Chain A
């Protein structure tokens, strides 16, 4: 089934630990995105990738890193987790990064940092 998957579904993490959130899409989309969603705030862009091999910083990149070694995968790494990174993380993809491209979202990862 075509779509976008994320793993894990949820995670409780001790502060200071390293964590990688996985994201895979099989739609051959060029562009991929990582957002965080917090209560009372809109989705905020963390990092994005317009095509395999390139990445860029979004609105809230500090404390996060990404890589895009191939078209399908776009992992998000928290090098040393802090409680303020407790959030729901959504990965998304679109055919291209150009105007009017619908973004398709994964089911999300609920992360709690204690």
Chain B
């Protein structure tokens, strides 16, 4: 079967750091995407990991461990505008995306 797990909701404080985890079990794996989705809007691309390790892009970093079926998105220096849902998606062997249900991140002042 195919399964992608993310926490449903997380709360963090403005200026802090938060880590959003994603674990997966899928039939075939090519890479892993993270997308951001503000309420009522379309998802937008954040990162793509294909190799193990950490990819840093400004305040956002994404980590992948293929052997453990695990990824995380790290958000630093949190801002109020970071309040959104964060979607983890695995690219399977057919290059189709299998999506997690998303993690709703609430930022408090």
Interface positions of A (Cβ within 8 A of B)? 35, 40-45, 48, 58, 90, 97-108
Beta-carbon contact of A107 and B42 below 8 Å: yes
Q: Mark B75-87, 1 if CB is under 8 A from A, else 0.
A: 0000000000001
Interface size classification for chain B: 20 to 34
Q: Does B54 contact A (CB under 8 A)?
A: no
Residues in A neighbouring B102, C-beta threshold 8 A: 42
Other 14 A-B pairs with CB < 8 A, given A43-B87, A44-B99, A103-B97:
A41-B101, A42-B4, A42-B89, A42-B98, A43-B89, A43-B97, A90-B42, A97-B95, A99-B30, A102-B33, A103-B45, A104-B45, A105-B42, A105-B44
Do A99 and B91 touch across chains, with their CB atoms under 8 A apart? yes
Residues of B within 8 A of A101 (CB): 95
**Shortest Cβ distance from residue B3 to the other chain A in the assembled complex, whole angstroms:** 10
Main secondary structure of the interface of A (DSSP, over half): loop
A108 to chain B, nearest CB (A): 6
Name the residue on A nearest B41 (C-beta): A107
CB pair A105–B4 under 8 Å, yes or no, is: no
B70 in the interface (beta carbon within 8 A):
no
B37 to chain A, nearest CB (A): 9
Min Cβ gap A64→B in Å is: 16
Looking at B30, B33, B48, B96, which has the most chain A CB atoms within 10 Å of its CB? Answer: B96
Partner pick for A48 among B41, B45, B87, B96, CB 8 A cutoff: B96
Binary contact readout B24-40 vs A (1 if CB under 8 angstroms, 0 otherwise): 00000011010000000
Listed by A's residue number, 16 A-B pairs whose Cβ atoms lie within 8 Å are A41-B101, A42-B89, A42-B98, A42-B99, A43-B97, A44-B99, A99-B30, A99-B50, A99-B91, A99-B95, A100-B48, A100-B50, A102-B45, A105-B43, A105-B44, A108-B41
